[in-house]
Every structure is written in C-alpha cells, then in structure tokens.
Structure 1
Amino acid sequence: MSLSPLLNASLVIQIHAFLAIAAVILTLAIFTLPRGSTAHRWMGWSWTAMIAIVALSSFGIHEIRMLGPLGPIHILSAFVLFQLVVNLRAARAKNIRAHARGMKLLTLGALVGAGAFTFLPGRIMYQVVTGG
C-alpha cells in the first residue's frame, strides 16, 4: 500500500478521494446514532456537504471520457446532487421513511458502488492499495 499515487494526483482528485473516504467513515458513525438526534442531524449535514463536494469535484476529473470531457461518473454525480436535494426535502417534510430509504440508496450507489470502481486496475485507488 502506498499513498504516493494519490498524493501525486491533481488537487481535485485528492479532495475527491479524501472526502469520499471521510464520508464512508462518517456513514458508519451516522448509522450507529439514534435517528433524529442532534448528533445524527449534525453529522448528516456534514455528510451531505462532503457528498456534495465529492460529486461537484468529479466534474474536474476527466480520466474516463465518453462524451467530450464527460464520462459515466459525471452522470452519477448529477444524479447524486439531485438525490441529495430530494432526500433533504423528504426529511424537512417529516417523510422520514423516504429520507432514510433515499439516503441508504444514495450511500450504496454513490459511496459503495462508485467507490468499488475506483479499485479497478489502472485507477489511482488500485495503485494506492497495490502499492503502485
């Protein structure tokens, strides 16, 4: 394992990766808290900000291009930003069931699903895990 591939990457990739990793860790903490507690809300807003920055920072990453400078990750990022708004509106409307379901699906898709693709051969996180 070596962090040098990540540390030698562009600043936008570093921000993207470090906030995604932090969001995974924060997710574990949020899922252990009582729903609706002050800590859950505070951590939830922090998580939301992290995920929004992760999604927005992806628009500065152009390693996989399919349509001009855009790739599949950019479609996912736009969807993530849309879903953040939908899920936050559900919470504010006291539709906790929709909020909880939406946030769990967002976590699975945006962090677990998209995160798994970062470990494919040739990608930076693959190089980090395998030592380059």
Structure 2
Amino acid sequence: MDYYTLMYLHLATVIPCFLIGTMLLMLKKGTGIHRSFGRVYMILMLITATITLFMPADVGPRFLNHFGWIHSFSFLTIYTVPTAYWAIKKGNVKSHSRKMVLLYFGAIIIAGGFTFSPGRYLHDLFFG
C-alpha cells in the first residue's frame, strides 16, 4: 500500500477516535454506552496505531530508515490499550482510567498536534 492510502486509512480511524474519546471523557463512566463506545474506541485505536507502523516517517530523523519519534505513540498505544482493557476486567478502575486519559491526550491530542507541524500533510492542507 502506498503512503497516501495508509494516511487516509489512518485519518478514517483516528478521527472517529478523537470524537469518541472526547465523548467518553464527558460521559458518565461505567454505563452501558460508555462500555460500548469504549470497545469501539479501543479497537479503532489499535487499528490506527497499527496502520501508522507501516507509514515511514516523513519528518525528522529515522530509525531503521523507517520509524520516526512519532511512532513511539503508536507503540505506546499498542501497549496501553490491552493493559487498560485488562485493568478494567480485573476491576482496577483507577489504572484503567489513568491509562485511557493518558492515551487520549498522548496519542490523540499531542501526536495529533504534531501532525499539524510544517512538512506534514495536515499542515499543508490547513495552512498551505
């Protein structure tokens, strides 16, 4: 798959993550709707993180001629989603909550913010 196909697939999964994640932060926790949307959110986050691993870094230094520093958010997501899932399954609400809030702000807000930096597609789309 070429870079642009992967990028559009990533956008198609991460934009719903942003919307669902924002909604989940505002809704009452532990309800049926929270659990249902939470499952969708976790699945989409895993899909979007996996997609990004196939996208070579376009900005900044590369490791193994492929991975950039922004890929660290992908690896963080692939680790955090299952551990947050297991935390809630074990009844550890505090750990689950902390992981999910950090995931939202780290992988969506911070990493998403960096996608608007010069040299990236979204920067060119919105500011170019």
TM-score by length of structure 2 reads: 0.89
Give me the whole-angstrom Cα distance separating, in 1, the residues matched to 2:5 and 2:72: 22
Q: Which residue of 2 aligns with 1:91?
A: 88
Structure with more relative contact order (C-alpha pairs < 8 Å, separation 6 or more)? 1
1:37 and 2:31 matched: yes
Give the 5 Å matches for 1:1-132.
10-62=4-56, 63-64=58-59, 66-68=62-64, 69-130=66-127, 132=128
Q: Which residue of 2 aligns with 1:4?
A: none
C-alpha deviations, 1:4-52, integer Å up to 9, x for none? xxxxx61110011221111111112212322111100010000001111
- Equivalent residue pairs, number: 123
State the shift of 1:84 in Å.
0.8
TM-score by length of structure 1 reads: 0.86
Contact 1:118 1:124 in 2 (8 A): yes
Query: Which letter does structure 2 place at the counterpart of 1:31?
Result: L
Give me the whole-angstrom Cα distance separating, in 2, the residues matched to 1:123 and 1:74: 14
Identity rate of aligned residues, in percent?
25
Contact 1:58 1:73 in 2 (8 A): no
In the alignment, structure 2 segments of 5+ residues that lack a partner are: none
Pairwise CA RMSD: 1.4
Give me the whole-angstrom Cα distance separating, in 2, the residues matched to 1:74 and 1:99: 23
In the alignment, structure 1 segments of 5+ residues that lack a partner are: 1-8
Query: Which letter does structure 2 place at the counterpart of 1:91?
Result: I
State the shift of 1:73 in Å.
2.3
